[in-house]
Structure formats: C-alpha cells, structure tokens
Structure 1
Amino acid sequence: MSQRLDRLWYGSNRPLWWLWPLAWLFRWVARRRYRAYRTGHRGEEAGLPVIVVGNITVGGTGKSPLVLTLVTWLAEQGWRPVILSRGYGGDPETLPLVVTPQTPVDESGDEPAMLALTSGCPVVVDPRRVRAARYAREHDLGDILVCDDGLQHYALHRDLEIAVLDAARGLGNGAPIPVGPLREEPARLDSVDLVVTNGGTLPSLGGAHEMTLAPSRLVHVSSGDERGPGWLAGQSVSAVAGIGNPSRFFETLRELGARVNERPFPDHHPFSASDLTPAPGETLVMTAKDAVKCRERTADAWYLAVDARLPKAFWRQLQQQLSERGIRPSAPTREDHDG
C-alpha cells in the first residue's frame, strides 16, 4: 500500500468522501458475499482442517509473523501444517506452485518465499485457494492447512478464522474501500473465532489477544551470519522497507538504539540495486520479507528477524476451538505455549 493511501485512509478524516458511491458498492458486494457464505454457500471443503489468518483492513497488520508462530505451534502439537498463499507479486509458470527456499522470488512472490525459508513447512501458492488446498491434500503435503490472508476468500470453507489488526492504526477512518481501508464491516470481527491486535490493545475489541513482535536477531542477507539486535545500538542505518506498514519497522529500529534514515517503498516493491545503496557511513537494514528479494541485489545488508509472541490465553483458546470442532492431531498435544 502506498504511503499516500496510508495517510488518506488511516487518519481521522475521509478526504476521499467523493468516492463514497464506490465505497457503498464495495460494502454491498462484500456484505452479500459474506451472507451467501453464512447461509449455505459455505465454500468447498478441503478434506483437511483449514485455519484462515486474515484481516478486514488493507495494509500490513502482522499476519505473516502470526502464521509463522502458528505453524510452529501446530507442529509442536503433532500436526504437519501446510501454508496456502495467494502469491501476490509472483509470476509462476504453473499453478499450484510448491515453494521451496530455492524457488525464484519472481515466481513465488516475496511473502511465500519468506514463509518457505523461515517456517520449513510446505508453502503452496495459488490465487485459487481451493485448488491449492486440493493439491496439498492429493499430494499428502500435510494434514492441516493455514491460509495466509484469506479471510474474504469464501470459495474455500474454513474451520477456524483468526483476524489480525494493527493496534496503532486500528480501523483507520472506518470507511470501506476506496474511501477508507475496510475490506469488510467492523461487525465481521464478531463472527471470527479469534481476534489478535498487533502491538497494543484496542479498547473497542473486548476479548482480543495482544501480539508483540520481538526482535530476535540480525541476519546477514548474503552470508547468513547473525548478530544480536543490541548490535544496532548507536549504529547509523539506512532502513529499507517495502511492506504494508513500514513505520512500525522504523520505530522498532529506533527502539533498539539505531539512528534511522527511513527509506520506505510500496508493499511488494521490486527492488533495484540503486534502492539498496546505503549512504556513506550507514548500514543497510531491511525486513525479512524484503531480504528474500535482495539476496542477489546487494552484497552487504542485514535483515531484522522478529518473533511473534502471544499470551498463553490465546493458545488455550485456540486449542479449545479446535477441540470443540473435533480437530485433533494423531500425536499428543501440549497444553501451554509461550509463543
């Protein structure tokens, strides 16, 4: 999402009010699709349990870090999780595409590449999530599916929904696209199984679970060498971010003591070598999602790895929701998980 839209949508005003007829139409279509799903057209069954992680707003909310910690937890419970992704920004020759750490990012898209590299789980890319789910089942890639950013993809039936919100930006100006950032109405949050707020709480959302993204290490993009996040204290950095909410990344670097030269780019930006040239005396630092696109475009850069942490109450509620639906792995489960 561009910085301009971010300013227009996530302020308190609605400067694009003159587009309200389009927003009304968008809201009507979204409401109709959801009602159709709830009243009988509940999407195609995947043949495997499906957990959807999504949001009701446009822009980065922290879905991918949550997906990573979720599949780690599922594996600890005895599951073999598979991640499904739309593959935004990729151009695969054939679909579905099973992404490995060796798959070119131009084919898979940046988020699937990062998820495959970091999670160790199979990642299947296809805009048609039903086809991806069917492929995962037929090829026995795993026994539970985690759909990254698929809350509004009603062609695929889901067993459990998790919605993620950025606590700092909330619902923006509260208007539907294109006047505001809402993909669906706020009332949609009442129907999901779990709500997660990234980086704080929202008083209007009782029962939501707060997620924090904790910096864990700095990783050299080319060599894989690692340093603790404290290494950034006192460093001057050129901070590159082509993600949905770059300001959160820049603020994290400042909290670690870095002097930050902000270099934001649009989400999924195709970086060139000139984008990745730091100013004299500065260290180039980027996000993990950006790093998968930049391994062959820069010789000296670091990315900041973060871990998503959620309260034990979240994991207990998730376990309860799965158990109530009769969704259990063959291996014994663990009761607690600290994230």
Structure 2
Amino acid sequence: MWYQGHPLQWLLLPFTILFWLVSGIRRLLFRSGIKKQHNVDAFVIVVGNISVGGNGKTPVVLALAEYLTAQGLNVGILSRGYGATSPYYPRVVTANDPASEVGDEPRLLSIRSGVPVVIDPVRSRGATFLADKHHCDVIVCDDGLQHYALKRDMELVVMDGRKTGNGWLLPMGPLREGRWRLKTVDAVIHNSQLNRPDKLKSVPPEFVMSLVPRDFRNVRDPATTCTADAFTQPDALAGIGNPARFFAQLSSMGIALSSCQSFGDHHHFSRSDIPEGEVIMTEKDAVKVHAFAHDNCWYLPVDAKLADSFYQLVHERLARAGYLKKG
C-alpha cells in the first residue's frame, strides 16, 4: 500500500492527520524552547531517515566510524537498541552480548566497528555516557533523526530505491516526517546501486552509496570464508527492511538461488526458520542465529562505498567546529 498504492489507504487518513498534529506540536515545543534539547560535549552526527524500515543506515555508520577513527578522533556509536531487553541502560555492547539482550544492529556494530557502542532508549543519556565516560570526540547516532531531545551538529538522511513511497505520513504512508524535512538536513545519501537517484528539489548535497560485498563468512566460524562460486543453489533468507535488495545483490554476484525467504525487520529467528543445506543470510541476521545455525550457514558482509566529496563534507563540518584542521 505504501509503495504501490491501494484505495484502502484513504481509510487511514484520519490517523495520519492525528500523527501530523502530534508530531508537529512536538517539533514546535522544541523550536520554541519549551522542550529542551540536551547538549553533550562532543560532535554529534545523526544517521537517520524520514521513513520507516531499513534503508542502509548501518553501513553508513560503520563507514563514518572507520573514517573518523582514521582522522585520530575518539569515536563512539549510539543506538536506541531496538528490540533490546537489557536490564540496565546505558549499556556498552560487546561482541559476546546476545543479540536478544542488546539488539541485532548494536551487536553487529560492536563486532565490526572497534569503537565503543552504547545502547540507550534515552539517547541524550547514552550520548552523555559516551562523552563523559569514554571521552568521545564524535558520537555517531544510528537512527534518531526525530529524537529532537538530543542536540546534533550534523544530520544525514539515508534513502533507498523506495524513496518516500506514496509521500504520506504514518500510517497512511511510510513517512515519519514530511518531504520538507529533507531540506533541513546536511546531506542525503542514496542507497542505490543500479540507478542514480532522481534529483530532489531544494535539498542539500546528495551522494550515491553502493554496498561492496566482502567474502562470505561462516555463521558458526566467521574466520572461515568462501567466494560466490563456492555455492551451488543455496537458500537465501533476510530479516531486514528491504529483503529484495539483498536477494538481488546475491543474484548479481552470479549465485543461482534455490529460494528466497523474507522475514520482517528485526525478526526473532528460531532454528525452524533456517533451511537445511546451503544457506546465505545477511550479517545482521547472522548475529542473531549464531548459537543455533548449522555448519552450512553463511553471511555476506558489505561495506558502504561513498564518494570522497562526502567525506570532505564531513571533514569541513568537523573542522568548522574545531575538531579537525581545515584542508
């Protein structure tokens, strides 16, 4: 309905109007200063989107963490910890923490980034913890564009090929905020491998991101790797925001898939969800099934590839704030 249209969507219009009123009043309260923004002693970069569902934010967060660390900055990653059941917050996520306690994306970020990853549903509290306890110069927030209680220095929006769908706010459409919000951020990143994005009117700089695959890794033993030609006809599964994008990537690598199984984003997997024989899944799913996956389960790590001009933009903003030298 959100992306292909359906007459029944108009039944949700009253709820969309209510959502528009409530979210608009909330933004007004922050703009007027009635609701206060929390400022932390660090440069805060928010990587988010204006729509629901996974658009490819996690690879961008990892790429930023790698770049900023290479500049000699102390970097921390902050996440709400969607689906986490931790008994306390803020919580530092380690590679040994179960995804059921800390969330799938935070555990992935901890394994891949090599920087402190903190989860906290109260983002301002988590950001303060990273700045004060871990002495972070830069905090990269995985999602949280609409979490206005945390003051930010830079906003990046990630969009995939679905763009803004039918253009309506929730629940009639997929948008958390209207298209107008794109005019206020620092950059829009298009997770679009095959086609350049349509130019959006009156928005900041736009960049195209591609996801570059690494070698496949065994879910039970990540030190064991293989290439695409090692597979015959594997089954593929994905519990992410846009499973079709993952399946298309596997096909583009020359892998003839026996079946494609789609699950909801952040799906809680069980052993019965995993087929026998060769299985390929996303890295995000692999962190959730490690304990019960069989020996022939593999995942595909990917890296975000962005233009040098994107990193130059980030560098300039940090230099302007006094965290890096200009140039």
Aligned CA distance change for structure 1 residues 327 and 152 (closer, same or farther; 3 Å): farther
The residue number in structure 1 matching 2:225 is 227
The residue number in structure 2 matching 1:322 is 318
8 Å CA contact 1:33–1:154 kept in 2: the answer is no
8 Å CA contact 2:228–2:255 kept in 1: the answer is no
Q: Normalising by structure 1, report the TM-score.
A: 0.89
The residue number in structure 1 matching 2:307 is 311
Matched-pair identity in %: 42
Offset, 1:235: 2.6
Correspondence list, 1:242-321, <5 A: 242-260=239-257, 261-278=259-276, 282-300=277-295, 301-321=297-317
The residue number in structure 2 matching 1:37 is 30
Q: Normalising by structure 2, report the TM-score.
A: 0.92
8 Å CA contact 1:53–1:164 kept in 2: the answer is yes
Measured in 1, the distance between the counterparts of 2:78 and 2:7 equals 34
Residue identity opposite 1:273 in structure 2? R
The residue number in structure 2 matching 1:99 is 93
Offset, 1:129: 0.3
Correspondence list, 1:1-339, <5 A: 8-13=1-6, 15-40=8-33, 41=35, 43-166=37-160, 168-199=161-192, 200-205=195-200, 207-227=205-225, 229-231=227-229, 235-260=232-257, 261-278=259-276, 282-300=277-295, 301-324=297-320, 326-329=321-324
Measured in 1, the distance between the counterparts of 2:139 and 2:42 equals 7
Structure 1 residue matching 2:294: 3-state secondary structure: coil
Structure 1 residue matching 2:134: 3-state secondary structure: coil
What is the root-mean-square deviation in Å for CA atoms of aligned residues? 1.8
Residue identity opposite 1:267 in structure 2? D
8 Å CA contact 2:216–2:228 kept in 1: the answer is no
Residue identity opposite 1:242 in structure 2? G
The residue number in structure 2 matching 1:4 is none
Structure 2 residue matching 1:115: 3-state secondary structure: helix
Offset, 1:19: 0.8
Measured in 2, the distance between the counterparts of 1:86 and 1:14 equals 35
Q: Deviations over 1:170-220 (max 9, x none)?
A: 101111000000000101010001110101433232631000011111011
Offset, 1:133: 1.1
| Matched positions, count | 319
* Structure 2: runs of 5 or more not aligned: none
8 Å CA contact 1:170–1:202 kept in 2: the answer is no
8 Å CA contact 1:61–1:165 kept in 2: the answer is yes
Q: Deviations over 1:241-275 (max 9, x none)?
A: 11111010000010011122101111111111110
8 Å CA contact 1:14–1:179 kept in 2: the answer is no
Measured in 2, the distance between the counterparts of 1:15 and 1:162 equals 33
8 Å CA contact 2:158–2:188 kept in 1: the answer is yes
* Structure 1: runs of 5 or more not aligned: 1-7
Measured in 2, the distance between the counterparts of 1:127 and 1:286 equals 28
Residue identity opposite 2:237 in structure 1? V
